[in-house]
Amino acid sequence: EAGVVQSPRYKIIEKKQPVAFWCNPISGHNTLYWYLQNLGQGPELLIRYENEEAVDDSQLPKDRFSAERLKGVDSTLKIQPAELGDSAVYLCASSLTQSAGGVNTGELFFGEGSRLTVL
Protein backbone atom coordinates (compact mmCIF):
# COMPACT_ATOMS: atom_id res chain seq x y z
CA GLU A 1 0.00 0.00 0.00
CA ALA A 2 1.37 3.40 -0.96
CA GLY A 3 2.01 5.86 1.84
CA VAL A 4 1.36 9.57 1.99
CA VAL A 5 3.09 11.26 -0.94
CA GLN A 6 4.26 14.85 -0.83
CA SER A 7 5.92 17.08 -3.40
CA PRO A 8 8.19 18.82 -3.83
CA ARG A 9 10.58 17.40 -1.23
CA TYR A 10 12.69 20.55 -1.29
CA LYS A 11 11.95 24.09 -2.42
CA ILE A 12 14.11 27.19 -2.30
CA ILE A 13 12.52 30.54 -3.10
CA GLU A 14 13.12 34.23 -2.66
CA LYS A 15 11.02 36.06 -0.09
CA LYS A 16 7.74 37.47 -1.38
CA GLN A 17 7.47 34.68 -3.95
CA PRO A 18 4.59 32.21 -3.88
CA VAL A 19 5.01 28.51 -3.20
CA ALA A 20 2.70 25.51 -3.23
CA PHE A 21 2.93 22.04 -1.72
CA TRP A 22 0.96 19.02 -2.79
CA CYS A 23 -0.15 16.00 -0.80
CA ASN A 24 -1.72 12.71 -1.83
CA PRO A 25 -3.01 10.81 1.21
CA ILE A 26 -3.31 7.08 1.71
CA SER A 27 -6.16 5.70 -0.36
CA GLY A 28 -9.41 5.66 1.60
CA HIS A 29 -8.24 8.02 4.34
CA ASN A 30 -10.89 10.66 4.85
CA THR A 31 -8.93 12.92 7.19
CA LEU A 32 -5.96 14.95 6.00
CA TYR A 33 -3.66 17.21 8.00
CA TRP A 34 -1.01 19.79 7.28
CA TYR A 35 1.58 20.25 10.00
CA LEU A 36 4.37 22.80 10.27
CA GLN A 37 7.67 21.64 11.74
CA ASN A 38 10.22 24.28 12.63
CA LEU A 39 13.80 23.28 13.27
CA GLY A 40 14.18 21.72 16.70
CA GLN A 41 10.46 21.65 17.42
CA GLY A 42 7.60 19.22 17.20
CA PRO A 43 5.03 19.42 14.44
CA GLU A 44 2.20 21.93 14.90
CA LEU A 45 -1.16 21.53 13.24
CA LEU A 46 -1.98 24.08 10.54
CA ILE A 47 -5.21 22.64 9.19
CA ARG A 48 -7.27 19.46 9.34
CA TYR A 49 -9.73 18.29 6.71
CA GLU A 50 -12.46 15.73 7.02
CA ASN A 51 -13.27 14.89 3.43
CA GLU A 52 -13.55 18.27 1.67
CA GLU A 53 -14.32 20.28 4.78
CA ALA A 54 -11.69 22.16 6.77
CA VAL A 55 -12.78 21.32 10.33
CA ASP A 56 -9.86 22.94 12.15
CA ASP A 57 -7.91 25.80 10.59
CA SER A 58 -7.48 27.89 13.70
CA GLN A 59 -3.66 27.78 13.45
CA LEU A 60 -3.46 28.63 9.75
CA PRO A 61 -2.17 32.19 9.13
CA LYS A 62 -4.90 33.12 6.72
CA ASP A 63 -3.33 36.36 5.53
CA ARG A 64 -0.73 34.44 3.52
CA PHE A 65 -1.55 30.75 3.79
CA SER A 66 -4.34 28.93 2.02
CA ALA A 67 -5.23 25.30 1.55
CA GLU A 68 -7.71 23.29 -0.39
CA ARG A 69 -8.78 19.69 -0.67
CA LEU A 70 -10.92 19.40 -3.73
CA LYS A 71 -12.91 16.17 -4.08
CA GLY A 72 -11.74 15.11 -0.63
CA VAL A 73 -8.55 13.42 -1.80
CA ASP A 74 -5.43 15.40 -2.74
CA SER A 75 -4.62 18.65 -1.01
CA THR A 76 -2.57 21.73 -1.78
CA LEU A 77 -1.06 24.16 0.71
CA LYS A 78 -0.07 27.57 -0.64
CA ILE A 79 1.94 30.44 0.78
CA GLN A 80 1.74 33.84 -0.89
CA PRO A 81 3.85 35.79 -0.34
CA ALA A 82 6.49 33.77 1.48
CA GLU A 83 8.47 35.33 4.32
CA LEU A 84 11.85 34.40 5.77
CA GLY A 85 10.14 32.94 8.85
CA ASP A 86 8.23 30.45 6.73
CA SER A 87 11.39 28.37 6.26
CA ALA A 88 10.41 25.02 7.77
CA VAL A 89 9.25 21.53 6.90
CA TYR A 90 5.62 21.15 5.91
CA LEU A 91 4.28 17.73 6.77
CA CYS A 92 1.15 16.14 5.41
CA ALA A 93 -0.56 13.29 7.22
CA SER A 94 -3.71 11.26 6.77
CA SER A 95 -5.92 9.03 8.87
CA LEU A 96 -9.17 7.13 8.75
CA THR A 97 -11.78 8.65 11.00
CA GLN A 98 -14.62 6.26 11.71
CA SER A 99 -18.15 7.48 11.98
CA ALA A 100 -19.72 7.93 15.39
CA GLY A 101 -19.85 4.68 17.29
CA GLY A 102 -16.87 3.24 15.49
CA VAL A 103 -13.40 2.82 16.90
CA ASN A 104 -11.15 5.81 16.36
CA THR A 105 -7.54 5.26 17.27
CA GLY A 106 -6.35 8.62 15.99
CA GLU A 107 -3.33 7.11 14.26
CA LEU A 108 -1.79 9.42 11.70
CA PHE A 109 0.39 8.40 8.79
CA PHE A 110 2.92 11.01 7.69
CA GLY A 111 4.56 11.84 4.42
CA GLU A 112 8.26 12.66 4.17
CA GLY A 113 7.61 16.38 4.22
CA SER A 114 8.38 19.36 2.03
CA ARG A 115 11.34 21.40 3.19
CA LEU A 116 11.00 25.09 2.36
CA THR A 117 13.89 27.54 2.41
CA VAL A 118 13.05 31.21 1.94
CA LEU A 119 16.02 33.45 1.06
Tell me if 75 contacts another protein by CB under 8 A: no
Q: Of the two residues 2 and 14, which places its CB atom closer to another protein in the complex?
A: 2
Instruction: Give backbone dihedrals phi and psi of 9, rounded to 5 degrees, phi first.
Output: -75, -35
Instruction: Name the DSSP letter for residue 80.
Output: S
Which range, of 18-26, 71-79, 80-88, 91-99, touches another protein by CB under 8 A?
91-99
Q: Residues 18-37: x/- map of binding to another protein (CB under 8 A)?
A: -------------x-x----
Using CB under 8 A as the binding criterion, the count of chain residues that bind another protein stands at 26
In contact, 34 and 89? CB cutoff 8 Å: no
Cβ at position 16, least distance to another protein in Å:
27
Which range, of 15-23, 70-78, 79-87, 88-96, touches another protein by CB under 8 A?
88-96
Cα–Cα nearest to 89, from 17, 42, 36: 36
Q: Of the two residues 70 and 103, which places its CB atom closer to another protein in the complex?
A: 103
In contact, 91 and 34? CB cutoff 8 Å: yes
Largest Cα span, the chain: 49
